[in-house]
Each structure stands twice: as structure tokens, then as C-alpha cells.
């Protein structure tokens, strides 16, 4: 029996507790859109990250490889597209692959990550990443992290505004894509 091709939607959230959602039984936060997606799709309930650090974990998600094979060890060394990832494979097979939001790849314009289109992409700063947090000098004053901590709290920030833009762009893309006829999912 042939399997009918399906659309693929990957949602990756930073620092999101998977138990804080309606589909997971959490009674306080209302997540009707995620609940519907979870009910109609596949949900991973026993997954783990190949790295507790953001940039290597994203490289592993892109390539399907553990950190020691893609060699993006920390937040200073990011995925550069040289190792073929799932997006490149899908695009080669004729699928339209859209990325919306934070990728934290290297971000050089000549690099191919496999996306047919990319909206509001956020990559590591200057293609180098956060090397200051790799220094283990007790006299090192790390102002970047302190500024982020000081800006955290209630209300809007540059990050919450960016998140809202990403969510809006994703909704528009899904709505427009869902109403068009496609030869392939």
C-alpha cells in the first residue's frame, strides 16, 4: 500500500517546556492551535536534545547528525549548509521548503541551507556567534549576557516583538499556502 505524501510542519521553540500546553494536559495556558496540530499530527513525547546548547542542537536538527559529526560544537560554530540536511533533500525532490524565524545558522549569503525561501531569518551574529561566553576567565566581564538579563521581565522587548513578527508571518504563510493547489505537499 502506497503512503500518501503529507505536508511537514516543524515547530522549534527555544526553551519551551513541552508540559505547558493544552495538549499536554496543562490547565492554565490555552493553546488551541497547538492542540489541534498535536491531535492531527505526530507529537514526540520522549525526545531529547543532542546538545543543551542552542546552535549545536539546531545543527543537529538540520542534519540529523550528532554534534561530533557535524562539528558545530558550541554557539560560536554554527551550521553552514555544507553537510546536506533534510531541507536540501526535500528541495532536491521538488518540494517547496520555507523557513520562518530563528535558525541560528552561520548566515553567510552564499551558504545553502536548503530552503526555497526564508523569512525573518535570525542567524548568529556576524557568522561567528557568541565567543565571549566560551572564555572561562573569572575576570572576564560579560556585558552581553548581563544586558539580556537586565532587559528581561514583564512587557515587550525586542525578542517578544520579533517572536510576534515570526508568528504573524507563519500564520500568513500557512494560510496562503493552505488555500493554493500544489503538485506536491
Model confidence at 137, pLDDT cuts 50, 70, 90, reads low
Residue 98: helix, strand or coil by DSSP? strand
Its pTM stands at 0.81
- Greater model confidence, 50 or 6: 50
Average pLDDT, the chain: 85
Band (pLDDT 50/70/90 cuts) for residue 91 is very high
Residue 112 has pLDDT above 90, yes or no: yes
d(CA 78, CA 56): 7
Q: Which three cell numbers stand for residue 101?
A: 524565524
Rounded CA-CA distance 108/156 in Å is 29
User: How sure is the predictor about 143, in pLDDT bands with cuts at 50, 70 and 90?
Assistant: low
> What value does the mean pLDDT take over residues 25-45?
88
Nearest to 173 by CA among 118, 113, 102, 126: 118
pLDDT score at 173? 94
Beta partners for residue 98, in sequence order: 117
The residue count of the chain comes to 185
Lowest mean pLDDT among 40-44, 70-74, 161-165: 40-44
Report the alpha-carbon angle 117-123-127, nearest 5: 120
pLDDT at 58: 94
Q: What is the pLDDT of residues 15-32, one digit of tens each?
A: 778 788 899 999 998 889
Complete DSSP assignment for 101-134 = EE--S---TT---S-SEEEEEE--GGGT---GGG
Amino acid at each position: 500500500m502506497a503512503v500518501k505524501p503529507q505536508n511537514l510542519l516543524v515547530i522549534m521553540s527555544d526553551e519551551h517546556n513541552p508540559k505547558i500546553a493544552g495538549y499536554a494536559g496543562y490547565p492554565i495556558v490555552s493553546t488551541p492551535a497547538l492542540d489541534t496540530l498535536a491531535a492531527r499530527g505526530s507529537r514526540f513525547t520522549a525526545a531529547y536534545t543532542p546538545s543543551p546548547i542552542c546552535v549545536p542542537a539546531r545543527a543537529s536538527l538540520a542534519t540529523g547528525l550528532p554534534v561530533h559529526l557535524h562539528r558545530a560544537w558550541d554557539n560560536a560554530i554554527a551550521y553552514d549548509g555544507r553537510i546536506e540536511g533534510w531541507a536540501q533533500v526535500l528541495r532536491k525532490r521538488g518540494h517547496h521548503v520555507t523557513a520562518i524565524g530563528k535558525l541560528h545558522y552561520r548566515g553567510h549569503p552564499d551558504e545553502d541551507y536548503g530552503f526555497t525561501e526564508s523569512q525573518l531569518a535570525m542567524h548568529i551574529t556576524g557568522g561567528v556567534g557568541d565567543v565571549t561566553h566560551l572564555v572561562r576567565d573569572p575576570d572576564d566581564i560579560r556585558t552581553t549576557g548581563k544586558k539580556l538579563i537586565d532587559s528581561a521581565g514583564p512587557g515587550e522587548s525586542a525578542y517578544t516583538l520579533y517572536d510576534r513578527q515570526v508568528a504573524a508571518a507563519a500564520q500568513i504563510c500557512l494560510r496562503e499556502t493552505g488555500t493554493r493547489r500544489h503538485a506536491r505537499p
